[in-house]
Amino acid sequence: MKKMIIQGGNRLSGEVTIGGAKNSTVALIPAAILADTPVEFDTVPDILDVHNLMIILESMNVKSEFSHGVLDIDPTQIVEAELPSKAIKSLRASYYFMGALLGRFHRATLTFPGGDNIGPRPIDQHLKAFKALGATVIEEKGTVHLDAPNGLHGSRIFLDMVSVGATINAILAAVRAEGTTIIENAAREPEIIDLATFLNNMGAKIRGAGTDTIRITGVKTLQSMNTHTIIADRIEAGTYLSLAAALGDGVMIHNVIPEHLESFTSKMIEMGVELQIDSDKIYVPKSSHLHPVTVKTMPFPGFATDLQQPLTPLMSLADGDSTIVDTIYPKRVKHISQLQKMGMKIEAHDGMIIVKHTEKLHGAEVSAGEIRAGAALTIAGLMADGQTVINNAGNILRGYDRIVWKLNRLHANVSIEDDSSVKIG
């Protein structure tokens, strides 16, 4: 088990560059097995999820190499094989192999994936999409068996609830199916547009990505001709924006797509943070006299559920009570008890999180229950007096590209220790 050790109290300044989007990357890597040629991705974040997905690829005889942000994947010798359950269970997004394998081989068998424990995230909408495309679905003992011996055929799919995962899986399965598929009530996240762009550049026929209706005309082959550059990670960007406003003396954040962050930056501006927003970068000046705000998470373009926790430490500096209502994952509250250990005045009741003004935080031993909870604890640890030890820091490393290196370049004092107490800087 990895631990993050933070010596708090340092003011931060300088520049940081945001990596490629985790939520795009974990869909693009499974999508690569649909190609009949080698594939190359650029601006790939160096996170544990990428390395776990590479282990899954290897089990199917798909070679991959990752160096300096470039990931090469060669699916031309792919074989059907049992996927490693340990890697599958370590990250939720491994379920995208369901759609990709169904699209490639017309069958797939996967154990139920793991990942963050933030409350129920059923895959019934994914399975509904697969059935509509002609697959039979059998669930038994934590395993899903998908089979379409006569191939997949285009269909109309109406998602009962807006689901990023189900939208992506439906696209992956439909892109090489016969005929036309229409996905209605589709999610509109930027990561879905990124996936569609990658597939279209290989010859797919996907229209409407970024709207609530996506039309897909199936093709027989997908062939990569160019390197695909992954979009900037809006959740990582929001995390550093919150961090910079909470304890920065002037921080420039590069490789940002401001349009993807409007719901978040508007709340920061409402709080009194005087952001200077450019076309691909945002400068965060030293902030003071912050005002409380109310946040309600919604599907994109609303306020992202993944950003409610990273904003929490900044909210504790406001001169009043801020509130959060998470309509996406109401049970996303595991960070609250950990922040309370550090002295934060935060509580949850009646489906609402209330963050009160907190004069000072103090270091403590806490645990990162999932990625974004870990981000909130990291920011709080940097704000706190004394040393903070975050257990289960592997969850943080799952989602944040080279976070220790980036924080220390901003003059933080952060390190990672593994079981043998060897520091990893």
Domain 3-19+232-424 belongs to what topology? Answer: UDP-n-acetylglucosamine1-carboxyvinyl-transferase; Chain (3.65.10)
Please give the full DSSP string across 295-356, using - where no structure is assigned: EEE-STTSB-GGGHHHHHHHHTTSSS-EEEEESS-TT--HHHHHHHHTT--EEEETTEEEE-
Q: What is the mean pLDDT of residues 139-164?
A: 93
Is residue 123 marked as binding? Answer: yes
Q: How far apart are CA 7 and CA 391, in angstroms?
A: 15
Q: What is the mean pLDDT of residues 291-306?
A: 97
The set of residues, in sequence order, having a beta carbon less than 8 Å from that of 255 and lying 6+ positions away, is: 17, 18, 19, 43, 232, 280, 281
Residue 106's SS3 state is: coil
pLDDT of residue 119: 44
pLDDT of residue 424: 44
Q: Looking at 116, 194, 326, 401, which residue is catalytic?
A: 116
> For the structural domain made of 22-229, what CATH number should be given?
3.65.10.10
Res 142 pLDDT > 50: yes
Mean model confidence pLDDT for the chain: 94
pLDDT digits (tens, 9 = 90+) for 169-190: 999 999 999 999 999 999 999 9
pLDDT of residue 114: 54
Domain range list for the chain:
3-19+232-424, 22-229
pLDDT of residue 117: 47
Amino acid at 148: A
Is residue 408 marked as binding? Answer: no
Buried b (16+ CB within 10 A) or exposed e, 84-101: bbebbbbbbbbbbbbbbb
pLDDT digits (tens, 9 = 90+) for 251-262: 999 999 999 999
pLDDT digits (tens, 9 = 90+) for 273-288: 999 999 999 999 999 9
Q: What is the DSSP letter of 260?
A: G
pTM given for the model: 0.94
pLDDT of residue 39: 98
Is residue 131 marked as binding? Answer: no
Does the fold of domain 22-229 match that of domain 3-19+232-424?
Answer: yes
pLDDT above 70: percentage of residues in the chain = 96
pLDDT of residue 115: 47
Is residue 299 marked as binding? Answer: no
pLDDT digits (tens, 9 = 90+) for 63-98: 999 999 999 999 999 999 888 877 777 677 789 999
Q: How far apart are CA 155 and CA 374, in angstroms?
A: 41
pLDDT of residue 422: 45
Is residue 147 marked as binding? Answer: no
| Long-range contacts, 381-384 (Cβ 8 Å, 24+) | 381/4, 381/6, 381/8, 381/342, 382/6, 382/8, 382/10, 382/12, 382/243, 382/246, 382/247, 382/407, 382/412, 382/414, 383/8, 383/246, 383/247, 383/313, 384/6, 384/8, 384/9, 384/342, 384/343, 384/360
pLDDT of residue 364: 98
What are the angstrom distances between the C-alpha of 11 and each of 290, 407, 417? 17, 11, 23
Q: What is the mean pLDDT of residues 289-312?
A: 97
Of 139-153, 202-216, 300-314, 316-330, the poorest mean pLDDT is in 139-153
> Angle of helix 22-31 relative to helix 190-201, nearest 10 degrees?
30
pLDDT of residue 113: 66
Is residue 10 marked as binding? Answer: no
Residue 116: active-site member: yes
